Chain A
Amino acid sequence: MFAYLIRRVAIMVPTILLVSVVCFVVIQAAPGSFTDRYLEDPRMGPEAVARINVQLGLDKPLYQQYLRWITGIVTKGDFGFSFFANRPVSTVIGERLFWTVVIAGITMLFSWVVAVPLGIITALRRNGFTDAVSSFIGYVGLAVPDFLIALLLIALVLQTGGTQVGGLFSPKYIGVPWSWEKFLDFLNHMWIPILAIGTTGVASVMRQMRANLLDVLNADYVRTARAKGLAERRVINRHAVRTAINPLVSMLGLSLPELINGTIIASIVLNLPTIGPLLYDSLLAKDQYVAMTLLLLASVLLMVGNLLADVALAWVDPRIRYD
């Protein structure tokens, strides 16, 4: 197992390097430059813009810009400088990390807590009424984009005279210490992103769980378990579900990069202070080191998620061994 881990991590290094090159090329290939924003301003002459280009290192050849960035990361853990915020990229991303993880965590938890039992129920009562209703909701959830659900929920809240139409708190609770009222206000705001973002997740996890369990329920060892005279509950929980849930563990690992790029539009619509809109803005503004760092981070999360999923699989499934 240990040797396997070392091998996997070792493979990740060249992959990440390759990804970083691709990120850089993709961002450079987009038209325009960060300093375009200065051109319309009456205060800026072309000389001034040229000077800013030098200041930001944008006058250097592309390969030098890339090497400087990647060397900084490897040697000093320095992810470069945000042109826009005039400070290190790590602090720009850092200040949004907390809410990103919290919101992604809560919505993911919601979709799993709802989806897994629903998947089990619909598999057990296949073709019944519950199955039909859940599947219908599941398909709709899959088909409707999260931002549209968010917009509809906002319209609903407005229609009913509510005030929690986006953001995490009412204005008066932003920036004040936590209190019971603030927490209630937070919950009052959070249900919209939970429903909007979480519903899409519910659908896919539920469908997956249902399909897996249906496969397993027909397997020989389930029949054997039943034949042994085990209680049905025990057959389902101990034998069927435990096996059926394995592919979901891989799914969970693969969903890690969604922390960054999963909910960009919904976050913008719902006005959430997360990393998604930051990525969107930095791509538009060509704030290249912020964009590159976020893209790199997303791919690292994908690889780490994959690795964690594989390790977790070995742990939950006795049939999987990596030696």
Chain B
Amino acid sequence: MPRKTLMTLAIATVIAVGGAAFAQPKVVSYPGLGMEPGTVNGTLTLSLADSPPTFMYYGQIDNNTQTLTGVVFDSLVEFNLETYAIEPALAASWDVSADGTVYTFHLREGVKWHDGTPFTSADVVFTYTQIITNPEARAGDAAQFIYTVDGEQRAVTFAAPDDHTVVITLPAPSAAFLLQQRFPMMPKHKLLAYSVEGGAAQADINNAWSTDTPLSEVVGTGPYKYDSYVAGQKVGLVRNADYWKVDANGTSLPYAERLDYLVVRGNEAQAAQFLAGNLDTLNISGAQFPDFKSREVAGADFRVITSPALFGSPPHVAFNFDDPTFGPWFSDVAFRRAMEQAIDRDRIIDDVYNGLAEIPGTPTAPADGTFYEDTKSLMLPFDLAAAGAALDALGIKDTDGNGVRNVPGGKDLEFSLTYNVDSGTFTDMATIFQNDFAKIGVKANLVGVSGSALLGTGLAGDYQAIIIALGNQPDPELRKPIWQPGGSLYYWHRATQPAEPGGAPNFDAMATWERRVYDIFDQGTTLVDRDARVALYKEWQRLNAVNVPVIMVAKPANIAAVHDRVGNYVYNLGVIPGYNPVPLYYVK
């Protein structure tokens, strides 16, 4: 290396260390997760399922863009990796007014963007007012910041009294507000030109930072900086030596000097790349588990790690309440309770997930220490005889002797069961259901649709029965559009949805228990008292267990394979904002 370069490097290091000294570090330590202090060195190679469509988090909803954003940008608050509690991140602390409507965030001092520009309250206000609440930003969240108070729409306001303070004022208290502030913060000095404040149109923000942008323009405050991008092949990142997190020994994070994301499409290709040693960690499925585990046992240089999942999507079976043919039965609790007994959860867990799943909540994840209500005793176990008897009691019997039960009026109980054909897990599940249903004289015809069309099929009501998996979040408020009757994703009973988008839901279509669930979610949004909220949401889970809006099937565990050279591994979904263990991984 030429002398001059060495000199420059030395100076840069001094400046970097000096800069870090002024920062207000956050000490990160998780002995409970088995973490130990690591050393700064090496390259970590992780996988991306596809090229990112853009580097602009708010410009597109995409897992790969989200995964990259997680290591390049920070948010005001973040999850504790062990307890899922909300902790300080870019906001070093905050105060909440007694009435729960004014949040004052005190920003961490000395934080810099990757280009050296100081991070200030102006960036935070810019991110909120110009991007997150911009209704044209494709991955913004404008609706979250408009509250309906006494029938009137009122907006959240943002102010920056000084460089390190941000005041956010809500029109009404909001219980999950802090939890939602895991939005990646964006640099005003780089994005002003794409904002309304900078003279652009609202939709222009989506066009910022397309993947042909010079990477020096794409700066965050996060543990890694963009270094190189080769379309369809690799995203290269380098360690941010100025990062504001340190470990228990005072070593600044992240540990790995370089972080490479290899673009590898498809499970098989990813598995091959991992086994060949080109990837350091890989999230795998229950179906892949036996192969990986047997290799581990045979002495391969990696280990397979499983843990209960909070995030991640438990599958359910839904019957279309509004089906023109069978709607009257599908919307009947007794019918759904009968069919619940034809769902062999234990077999699905054993055969489809190789035992790496558990009986799900209804629908909160059992790993959720705060909101989960154990409703196992309320859920009906697999019992085909009981299922058949329950159908008999409803008058659904085989009256014409063709082996298929007939609903009153004579029609065969024969319906379509729609599932995601791209997923082996769902295909297996659908086949098991079809077989078990047939044993009680219920004929299900399998209809496979591509994974990307599955939810659309559900939302359009273009199915009779369907298998869908929707994700869990650490607070039921974040899943309100799914579980509140009349919500935009309450797809199994579309009659409850508002006639006009944004209008009042159709209360007339709701059953009594659905109305109660509706009210629970309404109250849960504004109720600040935590215990009272928890009690409300537990009531909702019990209501779900006995009224089975959908039949929850299983909650898959987290499974990952990790090479022995990687230390401090904690399962990482990649796409959850504010949950990012990558800076703690180290190369041995």
Contact = CB atoms under 8 A, between A and B. Distances in A.
Contact of B144 (A43, A95, A170, A268): A43
Given A40-B470, A85-B54, A87-B207, A46 B502 contact: yes
A317 interface: no
A277 interface: yes
Interface in A253-304: 268-274, 277, 281, 284-285
Interface stretch (B367-375, B377-385, B403-411, B473-481): B473-481
A271 B502 contact: no
Output the residue of A46, A281, A285 with the most chain B CB within 10 A. A46
A167 B264 contact: yes
Interface stretch (A28-36, A65-73, A109-117): A28-36
A171 B231 contact: no
Given A171-B234, A277-B265, A32 B275 contact: no
Nearest to A31: B453
Output the residue of B50, B51, B142, B233 with the most chain A CB within 10 A. B233
Contacts of A285: 452
Contact of B229 (A85, A87, A175): A175
A272 to B, nearest CB: 8
A91 interface: yes
A46 B60 CA distance: 16
Contact of A36 (B50, B452, B480): B452
A2 to B, nearest CB: 41
A24 interface: no
B506 interface: no
Interface string B291-317: 000000000000000000000000000
Interface in B20-63: 43, 45, 50-51, 53-54, 56, 59-62
B232 A96 contact: yes
Contact of A87 (B142, B212, B272): B212
Output the residue of A31, A96, A162 with the most chain B CB within 10 A. A31
Interface in A1-56: 31-33, 36-48, 50-52, 55
A34 B470 CA distance: 19
Given A36-B452, A273-B233, A273-B263, A170 B502 contact: no
Interface in B514-536: none
A166 to B, nearest CB: 5
Contact of A158 (B231, B276, B462): B276
A149 to B, nearest CB: 14
B14 interface: no
16 contacts: A31-B462, A32-B457, A40-B489, A42-B478, A42-B481, A48-B140, A86-B59, A95-B231, A165-B273, A166-B272, A167-B262, A169-B233, A171-B262, A175-B230, A175-B234, A271-B269
A43 to B, nearest CB: 4
B143 interface: yes
B452 A171 contact: no
Interface string B228-272: 111111101000000000000000000000001011111011001
Contacts of B136: 51, 55
Interface residues of B, number: 67
Nearest to A150: B269
A39 B489 contact: yes
B60 to A, nearest CB: 6
Interface of A: 31-33, 36-48, 50-52, 55, 82, 84-87, 91, 95-96, 99, 151, 154, 157-158, 162-172, 174-175, 268-274, 277, 281, 284-285
Output the residue of B135, B234, B260, B455 with the most chain A CB within 10 A. B234
Contact of B473 (A42, A48, A163, A169): A42
A33 to B, nearest CB: 7
Contacts of A163: 276-278
A47 B501 contact: yes
B53 A84 contact: yes
A2 B159 CA distance: 72
Contacts of B211: 85, 87
Contact of A268 (B53, B236, B265, B453): B265
B439 interface: no
Contacts of A31: 449, 453, 456-457, 462
B59 A174 contact: no
Output the residue of A33, A38, A166, A268 with the most chain B CB within 10 A. A166
Given A38-B138, A40-B455, A166 B210 contact: no
A286 to B, nearest CB: 8
Nearest to A162: B276
Interface string B113-154: 000000000000000000000011011111110000000000
A30 to B, nearest CB: 8
Output the residue of B212, B229, B263 with the most chain A CB within 10 A. B212
Given A42-B478, A163-B278, A169-B233, A32 B456 contact: yes
A43 B452 contact: no
Contacts of A99: 232
Nearest to A277: B265
Given A171-B260, A269-B266, A273-B233, A39 B212 contact: no
B341 interface: no
Query: Which 7 A-B residue pairs are closest in the complex by CB-CB distance?
Result: A273-B232, A36-B456, A174-B234, A46-B501, A165-B272, A175-B228, A87-B210
Interface string B443-481: 000000110110111010010000000100100001111
